């Protein structure tokens, strides 16, 4: 499990140039939360204090949003599923629930945080994960329906309509946490920082020398640290979802952790990874999971319909497609020579 998480951190990595001069040295911090390693690189005064504040915030968010620990807000919501009672939740939880519902609507249910019962049944992160019984999978599909998340925004309350329903924020919470980290950097007057929460990268500003951050995109079929290209970014987030993050192979079939709510099985839409580039990481996180489920054509259409969102799609045919806004900032660089960069369709 831990080994698996260590891989996460390397899904993205900054390609550091060794030219940073001493006054521009970054403060670097590494910690563990939300089931993953978190790396921060901060330039400026009081960087240690700022990184500590970010870590504290992320731990707080983890405890309220996880489904794995009792006593959190999502735990409260799940435990009362179907009993008709409203749960008073904090503003941040309501915000994330509302974001999740928004992207469920936009993706016509490809993204759906009520996927919890199916995630539990598949239990991909277990020591010896097994393919569940087909009829059990089919019976749980019925419990997955984001329209059953009822929210009374004015009173900051929510409830789940039916007994047995489970909200799982695994596909969106890290994005929200990354956004909160950027807010904390800004609050302290930091103008240059990078944070990576297990594949959710967000950068504030550019590098101190004025150049953009250069972030490598993991080659989904090569060892960690090999990439298919790089992106030059400032003030953006980059979030990838892929079939290579958490999976097991049985009878030559790869069973991974992103489920198609319509089938109950790992999404099988012809993609091996999707990467979203936009301003808010909470949006990018939901959209990377959603587009992975939707596949190239529908995923691309979804992304192109939302202002300020760009994407990279890697298909099972080993082709790479990017949306038009990335033309000048994406550099294709596949040492493995396994992938083909398709410039125009």
Q: How far is the CB of 61 from Mg ion (least distance, A)?
A: 15
Q: How far is the CB of 276 from Mg ion (least distance, A)?
A: 9
> Closer CB to Mg ion, residue 205 or residue 220?
220
Number of residues in contact with Mg ion under rule CB under 5 A: 4
Contacting range for Mg ion; rule: CB under 5 A; set: 63-71, 187-195, 284-292, 297-305:
284-292
Q: How far is the CB of 189 from ligand ADP (least distance, A)?
A: 30
323 near Mg ion, rule: CB under 5 A: no
Q: How far is the CB of 266 from ligand ADP (least distance, A)?
A: 8
The answer to whether 277 and 231 have CB atoms below 8 angstroms apart is: yes
Q: How far is the CB of 161 from ligand ADP (least distance, A)?
A: 18
Q: How far is the CB of 106 from ligand ADP (least distance, A)?
A: 12
66 contacts which partner out of Mg ion, ligand ADP, none, CB within 5 to 8 A by kind? none
Strands 340-341 and 319-322: parallel
> Closer CB to ligand ADP, residue 203 or residue 271?
271
3-state secondary structure the chain: CHHHHHHHHCCEEECCCCCCCHHHCCEEEEEEECCEEEEEEEECCCHHHHHHHHHHHHHHHHHHHCCCCCCCHHHHHHHCCCCCCCEECCHHHHHHHHHHHHHHHHCCCCCCHHHHHHHHHHCCCCCCCCCCCHHHHHHHHCCCCHHHEEEECCCCEEEECCCCCCCCHHHCHHHHHHHHHHHHHHHCCCCEEEEEECCEEEEECCCCCCCCEEEEEECCCCCCCCEEEEEEECCCEEEEEECCCCEEEECCEEEECCECCCCCCECCCCEEEEEEEECCHHHHHHHHHHHHHHCHHHHHHHHHCCCCCEEEEEECCCEEEECHHHCCCEEECCCCCCCEECCCC
> Closer CB to ligand ADP, residue 245 or residue 334?
245
Residues 166-205 that bind Mg ion (CB under 5 A): 171
Q: What residue is closest to ligand ADP based on CB?
A: 170
Binding site for ligand ADP (CB under 6 A): 111-113, 115, 119, 168, 170-171, 174, 198-199, 241, 245, 257-259, 261, 285, 288-289, 293
Alpha carbon separation from 115 to 232, 258, 261, 290, 301 (Å, rounded):
34, 10, 7, 12, 23
199 contacts which partner out of ligand ADP, Mg ion, none, CB within 5 to 8 A by kind? ligand ADP
Q: How far is the CB of 157 from Mg ion (least distance, A)?
A: 26
Binder among 289, 291, 315, 323 for Mg ion (CB under 5 A) = 289
The answer to whether 165 and 147 have CB atoms below 8 angstroms apart is: no
Binder among 179, 245, 285, 310 for Mg ion (CB under 5 A) = 285
113 contacts which partner out of ligand ADP, Mg ion, none, CB within 5 to 8 A by kind? ligand ADP
Q: How far is the CB of 69 from ligand ADP (least distance, A)?
A: 15
293 contacts which partner out of ligand ADP, Mg ion, none, CB within 5 to 8 A by kind? ligand ADP
> Closer CB to Mg ion, residue 72 or residue 171?
171
Interface positions with Mg ion (CB under 5 A): 171, 285, 288-289
């Amino acid at each position: 499990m831990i080994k698996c998480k260590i891989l996460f951190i390397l899904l993205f990595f900054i390609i550091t140039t060794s030219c940073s001069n001493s006054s521009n040295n970054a403060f670097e911090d590494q910690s563990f939360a939300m089931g993953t390693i978190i790396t921060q690189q901060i330039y400026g005064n009081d960087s240690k204090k700022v990184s500590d504040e970010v870590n504290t915030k992320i731990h707080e968010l983890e405890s309220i949003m996880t489904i794995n620990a009792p006593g959190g807000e999502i735990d409260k919501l799940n435990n009362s599923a179907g009993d008709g009672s409203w749960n008073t939740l904090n503003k941040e939880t309501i915000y994330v629930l509302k974001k999740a519902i928004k992207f469920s609507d936009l993706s016509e249910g490809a993204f759906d945080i009520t996927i919890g019962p199916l995630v539990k049944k598949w239990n991909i992160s277990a020591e010896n994960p097994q393919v569940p019984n087909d009829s059990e999978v089919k019976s749980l599909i019925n419990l997955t329906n984001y329209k059953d998340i009822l929210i009374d925004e004015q009173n900051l309350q929510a409830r789940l309509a039916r007994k047995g329903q489970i909200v799982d924020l695994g596909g969106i919470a890290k994005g929200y946490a990354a956004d909160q980290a950027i807010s904390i950097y800004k609050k302290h007057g930091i103008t240059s920082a990078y944070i990576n929460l297990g594949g959710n990268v967000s950068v504030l500003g550019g590098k101190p020398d004025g150049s953009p951050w250069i972030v490598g995109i993991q080659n989904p079929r090569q060892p960690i640290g090999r990439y298919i290209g790089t992106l030059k970014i400032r003030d953006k987030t980059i979030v990838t979802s892929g079939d290579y993050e958490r999976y097991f192979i049985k009878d030559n079939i790869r069973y991974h952790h992103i489920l198609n709510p319509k089938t109950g099985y790992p999404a099988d839409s012809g993609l091996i990874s999707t990467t979203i580039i936009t301003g808010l990481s909470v949006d990018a996180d939901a959209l990377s999971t959603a587009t992975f489920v939707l596949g190239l054509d529908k995923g691309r259409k979804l992304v192109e319909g939302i202002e300020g969102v760009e994407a990279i799609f890697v298909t099972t045919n080993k082709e790479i497609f990017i949306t038009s806004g990335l033309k000048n900032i994406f550099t294709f660089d596949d040492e493995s020579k396994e992938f083909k960069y398709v410039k125009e369709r």
